[in-house]
Chain A
Amino acid sequence: MSEAPKFKVTIDNITIEVPAGTTILNAARMIGGDVTPPAMCYYSKLKESGGKCRTCLVEVSKGSEKDPRPMPKLVASCRTTVMDGMEVKNITSDKVIDARKGIVEMLLINHPLDCPVCDQAGECDLQDLSYDHGTEGTRYEFARRTFEKEDIGPYIQLHMTRCILCYRCVNTAQELTNRREHGILERGDHSEISTLLGKALDNEFIGNVIDVCPVGALTDKTFRFKNRVWFTKPVDAHRDCPTCSGKTRLWMRGDEVYRVTARKDQWGEVEEWICNECRFEKKETKDWVIEGPSKVSRTSVISQGHYVNTEKAHVLIDKVIGKQPQLLMDIHAISDVNRPEIKLSEIEGPAHSDDFKGSV
């Protein structure tokens, strides 16, 4: 069998050779950097994903070497495969930038913008997208769609109002589990993620829908409101897990494990799926072998306060005055926050007012 033919494709004046059948988005990801179109629904690990959100629209200014006519409309780069000699414009095209602005506005039409409450804030794809490509305000004046709250089990919190209908979680359940128990009901403006007849999602790999969700529609109930993402420290860790690879990322604060997620690559995609036991049940440091702090992009809010390769300065005051300096106030004796008797990471689900009753 001969090797797959290579196609030459030019994206934003950068030429690259890719195997035939590669999508424009993946070709752009091979180049990397700014020319990569953003993707809200496409997930390279999920076969059926893509084509829903339209944020990855690009302009094809030359169809191929044989048929150099430009494509009449902007095309979704996650679903369009490259042709030999194709020329694609992403950030060099005003049409694309304008269209993307419109798409962001459309995605945000029904989004409640409750980022201060949302647990996804800080690692939210929609936040990044609207920051990079969106406009400052909205022109939408009408009521946003609302839904009745649905409980989908003890581990996963569903916030349907935040959903952008990317279908990633549906595809995840379809491809990872034997029997998919949730899907999109209704149609058009009424479409919603739901389990028919209020079932609970309990497959042992269903926790991965939390990681694939680009917004805060599906979040971890065991981490709910416990802390903000950027105040916890991501640490790579692993454990011997009989069901999954056990390679995870712990989100720690001191010695407490607040949250366990899968490791994500540079495109915000999960590297290896993890099981529910690793994700929800193992919230103690002794369950894990810690490998070291995860790499966080310097531009991410999560990198705030997480310093790498620092050297601690020598404290010389005790040598100068010949004794330990007197501690005038121990903040932990007065402060109400971080009380040792309240272990937030051990509370099941979000904390409530009675969880704090015992303390002063």
Chain B
Amino acid sequence: MSTPALELSGLKKSFGKAEIIRGIDLSIGKSERHAVIGPNGAGKSTLFNLITARFQPTAGTVKLHGEDLIGLEPYQINRKGLSRSFQITNIFPKMTVFENVRCALLWSQGYKYSFWNLVNRSRDLTEGAEAILEQINLTERRNLPAGTLSYAEQRALEIGITIAGGADVIMLDEPTAGMSHSETDYITDLIMKVTEGKTLIMVEHDMGVVFGLADRISVLVYGEIIATGKPEEVRGDPKVQEAYLGAALEAEH
């Protein structure tokens, strides 16, 4: 079997005495859409932050395509092909929508820290950014400052920035948080479309989105994964129902 896209083993994180992540082993295969669910405070965002080096883990390893990520800086991890979005919208609010996307393309197109290229002169950059805008349906908003977009549009833009660099492992932290039903459907379709053929790892509260998108689901409770499997398996797991799903599903209906 080929190496998994992302492999976590024995991952732990403590803040002082509080153990937030208590030993996680998880393997996510290539082109898999994987959702991490769990009650509030289970450590889902912390797990994301550990993988992307926003926090340093207390113990354990994170491997991307078999390569160890521990000790690398966020920008180095990004260059290895892992890209993420944030729970709280994290864009460049003063720049235009177009520029937001273009900035996301610069490194992957090899411009690096160059000061001998003019970004306006590059057709690749302009066309690449246009193509992404087309994909996330923000072409009409192209020249507006990103900070003036509606919430759902900013979330869409964030997804656009996340995928623009061509990373093959995409991590989305609650992409539909705080959205109306129609907005949620819109973002779900968008995620479907833009993660075609890529590995997706997402934290999500909305069960409709999770069961609609995910190939496999992991349930995180108090810093431990209590179940991993296909949606129907997880749904039927009595432990999961006890810990989390029952309550959440009741709330849904």
Q: Do A and B bind each other?
A: no
Residues of A within 8 A of B (CB): none
Residues of B within 8 A of A (CB): none
